[in-house]
Amino acid sequence: MVPIVSVECVSKTYWLGKTEVPALRDVSLDVHCGEFLSVAGPSGSGKTTLLNLIGCIDTPTGGRVVVGGKDTSALTERQLTDLRLHRIGFIFQTFNLVSVLSVKQNVEFPLLLQGGLTRRERDARVRGVIEAVGLERQAAHRPNELSGGQRQRVAVARALVTRPGLVLADEPTANLDSRTGATIIDLMRQMNSRDGTTFVFSTHDPKVMAHASAIVRIADGQIVAREALNGAVAAGGY
Amino acid sequence: MRSPIGVARLLFPIAFRNLFASKARSFTVGGIVLIGSLVVVVGSAVVDTIDSSMRGSVQGSLAGHLQIYSARSKDELSLYGKMGGQSSQLEPIEEFGALRRVLAHVPNVKDVVPMGIEMAMVTTGNEFDQALEKLRADVRQGAQGPGIAARYEAHKAHLRRMSALLRDEIRDASVLTDPEALKGSEAVRERADRERAASDGFWRGFDADPLANLEFLENRIAPQSLSNAYTMIRYVGTDLESYQRAFDRVRVVEGTAIPRGQRGILVGKLFAEDWLKLRAARLLDRIADARTNRGRRIATDEELHRWVKELQGQKREILLQLDPMQAAEATARLRGALGSQRTELPDLLGELFVCDDRNFDQHRAIFYRQLAPLLQLYSVGVGDVITLKAPSRSGYMNSVNLKVYGFVEFRGLEKSTAAGYLSIMDLVSWRDLYGYMTAEKAAEIGDIKSRAGAREVERANAEAELFGESGAPVDENARPGRIETPAIAGTAARGAGSKHHATYSQEEIDSGVVLNAAVVLRDPARTREAMRDVKAALSSAHMDMKVVGWQEAAGALGQFVSLARIILFTAVFFVFAVALVIINNAMVMATLQRVKEIGTLRAIGAQKRFIIAMMLLETSAVGLAFGAAGTLLGVGAVAVIRLAGGFPATNDTMYFFFSGRSLLPHLGGLSLAISLAIVFLVSALSSLYPALIATRVTPLEAMQSDD
């Protein structure tokens, strides 16, 4: 089975002044279609860096990242942006909604950037995901009129509206209380089950990790374990 | 971005919602843009209006669309005089006809008007001359009938009183004179003449030989009159017919145009008002103008107060004009009008000239209704012949006597001393005053010299040549200087125009010298092309001429519009430069505050160009919204200024610039378009740097957890 993401011997080093800080060291990982993969580890372990590299919003210092069969190191910035737009959905720890747009407009945003759909198709698609995350009554609201959980639902809807193969979520429940966090993870899981969308999310919360089909444990910039959960098959590669 | 409409649907709400989300920033940025566009609209309306009104007045009264003058000229052409009031020193164009013929082939040229602008001295006459003129008329008529006899006696009594007054005045003034100067033979003779003219004996024996006695008064006494003054008159000599055809702003306000082929002068009305009018009347007019048109008050305005005081000093000028019969009439009229019990005319005049804000209008009306009909208000009137004297180009003084056919005004420039002082005379008389030595004349003089045996002598050898010590061979053929009379007579006849033939032909106009020429175009919209064509035509005819537009021809005054425009643009530039910096800073701050949002947009798939478009749209929206508001306010401000009567001209220079008493600004479509274009450009420019910063925001910023 061809992985949707293939991280091959990737290193990432940051510089803090003259000090070299290795964020990731020789990491290799395959993510397969339909996985609901959790990247777990303490703060500063390199979870976010790994997600950034997979999401093509950062470039590795060494090794390569292949997303949807494309070697990202060979792509231009514009091509990388296009790749993100069409193949990847993002859910951020702090929701990152456009505050001046309504729920519907926020969700519609990536579709408008993509183009290609008629207005009716677009409306239907947007309505569908908003209903799926249970926010049809708040569609006209602005983000500051919503609770944290609702905002993250909007973010989930925005990430899914383009029907990407891969959704990356960086600590999606970190800014939510545990109950709300659980509902968000449930929602993501539903989408994973319903559409077969691959999810990779980072967390350090064991309760959240428990929902994953597999957990990749990371410490000091290296993957230390990959565990299959809930009977799911843990794909190798590290 | 594959769906421009869809993207626009994204961009607009983001841009506008962001504007409303940060109202303080939007209003700060917008306020500056608003002020800037307000300044642009009102400023351009004012400058454009000055431009168009000045253009109309100057082009329609003197300049035409183009002016041509010799490229060898020392000065640049300045139709309204150089700084300091002198005329431009221009090299003459020897044959105007040749210039006219060359320009006749340029398609857009409608008319070519010959010109020469110079200054001459003109005598403004004096009361003594006027009184003598009246008495001389009586003598010519003969004393028939009691009415005429009484008038004759009254005129005699008037002159006698003036003679006595003159004697006393000069005696008083001589206290200040160097005693040695009074001992000169001419001074002694003048004093004796004055004593004689004021003596009883002279007037008792006057009737025995009135003509001889009049001649004595005219030749010996009138020239001593203290008020016998000259003033400088500025005039344009031109082909009157083509001038009237070409310049529609010129109108004869009194009298008639100079008939075709006749010599004559049309005196500038404002010049007459300021220099030829009775001083008391002039002061009253000035005070009235200041009160009516400029809202000034005698009680509070120091200058008006001073003018009212000066009125008291004008009694003498009036008293000198009135003979005893007129004086009695004036006394009766003033007593009635003022309701006064005084019986002496000087006292009544004193009462008339005591003015304050309450009685000024009434007293001025009394002056004009009751007194003015008895007075000669202007020292020169329609039908008079005046003598103009000017140093000719060849060095000697030329003079011409010219009939005053009327007074002229230049519409729009009536109150401007720069333009309104200009008089118009026929070209032939102008040439007489100008006295240019044509090649033909020079040849004639050369011929006279050779016949007289004159030759050029080096200054160093002059003495030896004169006294024959040089040893140089004496020209045996040289005859003692006998200059042939007809040649000199010819020159002299040119010098005194009045003795010269009174009429002239079109051929004469064409065949002589001019200093410059106005070119009037069929299609003024194509002035630039016409200038190019005229230059080409002159160049191919080997005529070394300068061709300039009306603004340049009008000299420093004409270039005021350009200056005003530069000042306006500089002011606008500074306003918008400040706007640019402030908008830039505000937008940079806004961009930095929105790094996470921009990073998110980039992360979820927005290209850099989307970010740039978003930033530009935001600033442009502010710029356009507030720019439009500023423009509307500017339109309103211009309307209010117009309703309030415009900007008043408070001095002569402003009269010239405004081409009238006030400036009523009007809006041009172009100014509005420029205003909005500047606003748009500044908005766009000021958001370029923030937009650049925005494009440098990476998608990684979206992942920062600190919100």
Any idea where the domains of chain A sit in the sequence?
A: 5-96+165-228
Ranked by mean pLDDT, which of B52-56, B421-425, B476-480 comes out on top? Answer: B421-425
Specify the pLDDT at position B10: 74
Sign of dihedral through CA atoms A135, A141, A143, A149?
A: negative
Helices (H) and strands (E) in chain B, counts: 30, 12
Which of A51, A112, A174 comes nearest B6 by C-beta? A112
Q: Which residue has the higher pLDDT, A85 or B583?
A: A85
pLDDT at B455 over 80: no
The two most distant CA atoms of chain A are separated, in Å, by: 55
Domain A5-96+165-228 superfamily per CATH:
P-loop containing nucleotide triphosphate hydrolases (3.40.50.300)
Smallest CA–CA distance, residue A163 to chain B, in Å, is 13
DSSP lists the bridge partners of residue B408 as B252, B268
Long-range contacts of B337-341 (CB under 8 A, 24+ apart): B337/B366, B337/B369, B337/B370, B338/B366
Q: What percent of chain A has pLDDT over 70?
A: 96
| B605/A contact by beta carbon, under 8 A | yes
Q: Which residue has the higher pLDDT, B554 or A218?
A: A218
Mean pLDDT in residue range B2-6 = 63
Mean pLDDT in residue range B55-79 = 88
The 8-class DSSP code of residue A57 comes to S
Q: What residues of chain A lie within 8 A of the CB of B12, using their CB?
A: none
- C-alpha–C-alpha distance, residues A151 and A96, integer Å: 9
Which of B1, B602, B703 comes nearest A170 by C-beta? B703
Specify the pLDDT at position B45: 86
Smallest CA–CA distance, residue B609 to chain A, in Å, is 10
For A108, which residue in chain B has the nearest alpha carbon?
A: B10
Interface confidence, given as ipTM, is 0.92
Which of A57, A100, A114 comes nearest B21 by C-beta? A100
Specify the pLDDT at position B670: 78
Chains A & B: contacts with CB separation below 8 Å: 92
pLDDT tens sequence across A6-56: 999 999 998 888 888 899 999 999 999 999 999 999 888 999 999 999 999
pLDDT tens sequence across B331-340: 999 999 999 8
Specify the pLDDT at position B125: 62
B487 band by pLDDT with thresholds 50, 70 and 90: very low
- How would you classify the pairing of strands A36-40 and A198-203? parallel
pLDDT at B489 over 50: no
What is the DSSP track for B87-137?
Answer: PP----BS-HHHHHHHHTTSTTEEEEEEEEEEEEEEE---HHHHHHHHHHH
Q: What residues of chain A lie within 8 A of the CB of B21, using their CB?
A: 99-100
pLDDT at B228 over 70: no
Mean pLDDT in residue range B539-554 = 90
pLDDT tens sequence across B170-213: 887 777 766 776 677 788 888 899 999 989 999 999 888 888 89
**Residues of A at the B interface, defined by Cβ within 8 angstroms:** 48, 51-52, 55, 57-58, 77-78, 81-82, 84-86, 89-90, 92-94, 96, 98-101, 105, 109-110, 112-116, 158, 170-171, 174
pLDDT tens sequence across B101-149: 999 989 999 999 999 988 888 876 667 777 888 888 888 877 566 677 7
Smallest CA–CA distance, residue B639 to chain A, in Å, is 40
CA-to-CA separations, B230 to B124, B388, B390, B430, B574, in angstroms, rounded: 6, 10, 12, 19, 51
Helices (H) and strands (E) in chain A, counts: 7, 10
| B597/A contact by beta carbon, under 8 A | yes
Which of B703, B706, B707 would best serve as a mutation to test chain A binding (most A beta carbons within 10 A)?
A: B703
Per the CB < 8 A criterion, the answer to whether A100 and B21 are in contact is: yes
